[in-house]
Amino acid sequence: MKKLSLFLLPLLLFLLVSVFLLQGLFSDPTERKSSLLNRGVPDFSLPDVMNDSIVYGPEVFDNQITLLNVWGTWCVTCAYELPFLTQLREQGVRIVGLYYEQDLDPDFGAKSLRQIRLDIDKKLGQLGNPYAFNIFDQQRSLSLDLGVTGAPETFLIGPQGKVLLHHIGDVNERVWQQKFESVYQRLSGQALNQQESVR
Amino acid sequence: MLAELGHFSLVLALLMAILLAIYPLWGAQRGSATLMATARPLAIGVFLFTAFAYFCLSWAFFENDFTVAYVAHNSNTLLPWYYRLTAVWGGHEGSFLLWVLIFSVWTVAVAVFSSSIPREFLARVLGILGLVGVGFYLYMLLASNPFERLLPFFPVDGRDLNPLLQDFGMIIHPPLLYMGYVGFSVVFAFAIAALIAGRLDSTWARWSRPWTLAAWIFLTLGIALGSWWAYKELGWGGWWFWDPVENASFMPWLVGTALLHSLAVTEKRKVFKSWTVLLAISAFCLSLLGTFLVRSGILVSVHSFASDPTRGLFILALLMLVIGGSLLLYALRAPQLRSIGRYQLVSREMMLIGNNILLSAATLVVLLGTLLPLVHKELGLGSISVGAPFFDQMFVYLTVPFVFLLAMGPLSRWKQQSTSALGRHLLMAFGISVSAALLIGLGSDSFSYMATLGLVLSIWILVATVQEVRQRIAGSGEMFAGIKQLTPSHWGMVLGHLGFAVMIIGIAMVTSYSQERDVRMAPGDSIELAGYTFQLQGVEPLRGPNYTGHVAIMDIYANGKKLNHLEAEKRFYTVQRSVMTEAAIDVGLTRDLYVALGEQLNNGAWALRVYVKPFIRWIWAGALLMAIGGCLSLSDKRYRMAKLAHKASTSEKPQMGKASAMGEIKRADV
């Protein structure tokens, strides 16, 4: 009997591994625990990408549920999610863009601000514009504070300016339904109740 | 139309595989010759229908038939015709079709070349292969059909092949690798068939050896090519990344290497039987696990195919059935195996046990390193990544004792080796290797411990190998006559071990003495690195069939003399919108000069990366030597099947068997 158990060892090891493989199959490999979850958005003061004279701070997230979407025209995957985000906007979701430019375009060197604006206009004109406005993260300072590792990344920010969800990778229909929608509905339900109780 | 025929042909191949999984196995159980005789025609049928399906898909690529979804996703009219044909394995579905095609090739090879293996055993082997095949074909037809149409709305042009794959290395890397992966399915089938029959004797080991060798050769070449391609194509001069998918191909290789050695012991000495069977099963299981890791998207890797959970689930189920089932069979049957041979502490058996323990430990290190991030996260402990430093360090620790044993193994005798004789040899090898390495190390400009260690190890192998050949031919008096007497398989071993020594030199030198510079250069500028002068002549626009870009023209001088003229490209593939570097390399025996073009800066200046990589060719040369060694062993007369059959039938008579075993112990070649 003792001998049999020794020969069973490989099987048991394999079964153990396969439990983890099964679990791993249903979780996103790019998912990471964000250190910012349930904390406030870090302080910032950054201009609008289209208009330097407008400057935004953390108060733009007050009293509203917002999706903060990190993107850039150079980012291929971002282009994929633009149409879906635009759909969300049409359903009434408020989406704010956090735009950042790469230091240097891999092909054509540094871009002028004018060129960046032209590119943004072109891209959003082609694929749909989901954004209420775009914050221009010139030095990537806010991205750094938010723990952004690349683009696209999307944060769900609650009415108190708290980061409730952090998603790495594109937001598509499946991601939205599985990850965002329930939290979003709960929040907007709460917001409605509060409004009614005020009345 | 042809796509539908291809699809239908795959369905027929599946049906054949189902029959192949039922009739021969049943026939072997019942002892029915008629049922067992179906095995060969069915195996050929599976192959023919798969080959036809493969042809149909290739044709769709060649003709730019973008109504086929897979073609539309992986090809483009601008793609040259040879890349259109190799684009067949550029994505998930097509590469799996290639996998299945290669699987059917191996099956046919077993059916054709094993005519002399006992009927019953062959029927079982082919039946097991059929059983595994059913899983593959079902998976392809249900979860990743390459013939799916995009009708009625199909694109005018395709999305192009991933630019990373538009390279010569990529044309042959996947087929070779798959030949290796899938080749282990044959060894697996032999092991399972032997377990079912309850007959795990040295003939089983002897039948398995050529198949193991063949699969191992392909895997060695496939991995080496992959490494060479990454070096050339990824633009930063690395040759091994410990990427999960590389690890997935490395694990079967490690186990396959252990299996090669362990099979030798089982054949010659009839010991380690249950261990050898476990290795034979593991080699294929790790290949399957690798497939799962690549194709399910469970790990983050540059190699990942577009993934969805249903596919992953299907492969996992397949994994559970094949691996779980075979390990269960193993657990039930292995305790009955008896090893009869005896051996002393200092003997070739013990050295090979050491070899196997170290190779298995290496496999476990790679397995743990690959799966730990996953396990860690699933346990809710957060994301971690296991990087190259961990693997590098572990492999240094493992390589030193491994090389120590590698030198001792061939020098030792089976059963018992006199310690003093072995000691004399080793003392001499040790003296030579340490002093030679120190001389070289101190003679060079900068001393590095790692490089010196690498030199000691490889010279140690070299000296011990020469000693071993001398010891072997000493008995025959004259030197040349003695050399002639050595069998091809013995030369195979010698070459394999030398190849490993060559590879160690390459690795040690590259890791210790590589030099690199990131520089900003305008046309006319020049820089110095390791005694070479790199002068940028200019950067010119570039236009290819499906890309545009820039090419940097670089002249290299050494001691005032012009050495070479390099053109490093940066390509922008217009359809996929991705940028690729094509590094320019001046190849040399003792160093590579490597130039990669970076980004354009202002004022016409460019960012460039320049590397000097000493001895990097030796890494691949070592792998090539190992593979050639494998081919030599494979060519040995011992593996000619007709002869084997004769021997096998005679060795069943006890007195003859003993005599032949004795003869082999005297020859004692692994």
Q: Can you spell out the DSSP letters for B200-260?
A: --HHHHHHHHHHHHHHHHHHHHHHHHHHHHHHHHSSS--S----HHHHHHHHHHHHHHHHH
pTM of the shown model: 0.79
- Chain A partners within 8 Å of B327 (Cβ): 10-11, 14
Q: Nearest CA of chain A to the CA of B327: how many Å?
A: 5
Report how far Cα B204 is from the mean position of its chain's Cα atoms.
24
Give the confidence band of B652 by pLDDT, cuts at 50, 70, 90: very low
pLDDT at B170 over 90: no
Residue B630, both tokens: 């494998």
Instruction: State how far the Cα of A43 lies from the Cα of A62, in Å rounded to an integer.
Output: 13
B74 occurs within a structural domain: yes
Give chain A's domains with CATH numbers.
36-198 (3.40.30.10)
pLDDT at B217 over 80: yes
**pLDDT, tens only, B249-279:** 999 999 999 999 999 888 888 888 889 999 9
DSSP conformational letter for A160: B
Q: Which of B330, B335, B339, B110 is nearest to B202 (CA)?
A: B339
Could you say which residues from 55 to 114 on chain A have a Cβ atom under 8 Å away from some Cβ of chain B?
Answer: 76, 104-110
B203 occurs within a structural domain: no
Question: Residue A191: its pLDDT value, please?
Answer: 65
Chain B contact residues (CB < 8 Å to A): 274, 278, 281-282, 285, 292, 296-300, 309, 312-313, 316, 319-320, 323-324, 327-328, 330-331, 334-335, 371, 374-375, 377-378, 382-383, 570, 572, 577-579, 599-602
Residue B75, both tokens: 């090809």
Question: Residue B190: its pLDDT value, please?
Answer: 95
Structural domains in chain B (count): 2
Question: Residue B667: its pLDDT value, please?
Answer: 36
**pLDDT, tens only, A41-92:** 888 888 888 888 888 888 888 888 888 998 888 777 788 788 888 888 888 8
**Averaged confidence pLDDT in chain B:** 85
B401 membership: H or E segment, kind and range: helix B388-411
- Chain A partners within 8 Å of B572 (Cβ): 107
Are B659 and B532 a contacting pair, CB within 8 Å? no
Looking at per-residue pLDDT, the higher value among B441 and B627 belongs to B627
Q: Could you say which of B298, B320, B331 has the minimum Cβ distance to residue A24?
A: B298
Mutation site, A6, A20, A166, interface B, largest B CB count within 10 A: A20
Q: Which of B491, B506, B424, B500 is nearest to B462 (CA)?
A: B500
Helix, strand, coil distribution of chain A in percent, nearest 5: 45, 20, 35
Distant-in-sequence, close-in-space partners of B432: CB < 8 Å, separation ≥ 6: B459, B463
A139 touches chain B (CB under 8 A): no
- Chain B partners within 8 Å of A10 (Cβ): 278, 281-282, 327, 330-331
Looking at per-residue pLDDT, the higher value among B366 and B203 belongs to B366
A1 touches chain B (CB under 8 A): no
- Chain A partners within 8 Å of B319 (Cβ): 18, 21
A179, with CB counted inside 10 A (0-12, 13-18, 19+), is: middle
- pLDDT above 70 covers a percentage of chain B that reads 91
Instruction: State how far the Cα of B447 lies from the Cα of B444, in Å rounded to an integer.
Output: 7
Give the confidence band of B492 by pLDDT, cuts at 50, 70, 90: very high
Question: What Cα–Cα distance (Å) separates residue B565 from each residue in A117, B235, B537, B583?
Answer: 41, 18, 10, 13
Give the confidence band of B133 by pLDDT, cuts at 50, 70, 90: very high
- Tens-of-pLDDT digits for all 199 residues of chain A? 456 677 888 899 899 888 888 887 776 555 555 556 667 788 888 888 888 888 888 888 888 888 899 888 877 778 878 888 888 888 888 999 998 876 544 444 566 778 788 888 888 888 888 998 999 887 778 887 887 777 788 888 888 888 888 887 788 888 888 888 888 888 887 766 665 555 4
B204 occurs within a structural domain: no
- Domain membership of residue B611 as a residue range: 515-617
Question: What Cα–Cα distance (Å) separates residue B493 from each residue in A188, B411, B557, B632?
Answer: 71, 12, 42, 9
Q: Nearest CA of chain B to the CA of A43: how many Å?
A: 26
- Chain B partners within 8 Å of A17 (Cβ): 371
**pLDDT, tens only, B539-563:** 999 888 888 889 999 999 988 888 8
B395 occurs within a structural domain: no
Instruction: State how far the Cα of B88 lies from the Cα of B57, in Å rounded to an integer.
Output: 7
Question: Residue A58: its pLDDT value, please?
Answer: 85
Q: Could you say which of B319, B577, B599 has the minimum Cβ distance to residue A18?
A: B319
Are B388 and B241 a contacting pair, CB within 8 Å? yes
B298 occurs within a structural domain: no
**pLDDT, tens only, B357-373:** 999 999 999 998 888 87
**pLDDT, tens only, B54-68:** 999 999 999 999 999
In the three-class reduction of DSSP (H, G, I as helix; E, B as strand; rest coil), residue B344 is classed as: coil
Are A102 and A72 a contacting pair, CB within 8 Å? yes
Rg (CA), chain B: 27
B70 occurs within a structural domain: yes
B303, with CB counted inside 10 A (0-12, 13-18, 19+), is: middle
**pLDDT, tens only, B593-626:** 999 888 887 778 888 889 999 999 999 999 999 9
B260 occurs within a structural domain: no
Are B125 and B190 a contacting pair, CB within 8 Å? yes
Question: Residue B237: its pLDDT value, please?
Answer: 74
DSSP assignment of B151-174 equals: -SS--SS-----GGG-SHHHHHHH
pLDDT at B346 over 50: yes
Instruction: State how far the Cα of A177 lies from the Cα of B226, in Å rounded to an integer.
Output: 39
Question: Residue A196: its pLDDT value, please?
Answer: 55
Residue B34: count of CB within 10 angstroms of its CB: 8
Give the confidence band of B31 by pLDDT, cuts at 50, 70, 90: confident
User: Tell me, what CATH number does B575's domain have?
Assistant: 2.60.98
Quick check: B309 and A25 CB within 8 A?
A: yes
Question: Cα angle vertex B604, ends B602, B610, to 5°?
Answer: 95
Last residue of a domain, one of B161, B177, B210: B161
Question: Residue A197: its pLDDT value, please?
Answer: 55
Residue B633, both tokens: 């062993």
Give the confidence band of B478 by pLDDT, cuts at 50, 70, 90: low
DSSP conformational letter for B445: S
Quick check: A107 and B600 CB within 8 A?
A: yes
Main-chain phi, psi angles of B494, to 5 degrees: -60, -50
**pLDDT, tens only, B302-331:** 555 555 667 788 888 998 999 999 999 999
Give the pairing of strands B591-600 and B606-614: antiparallel
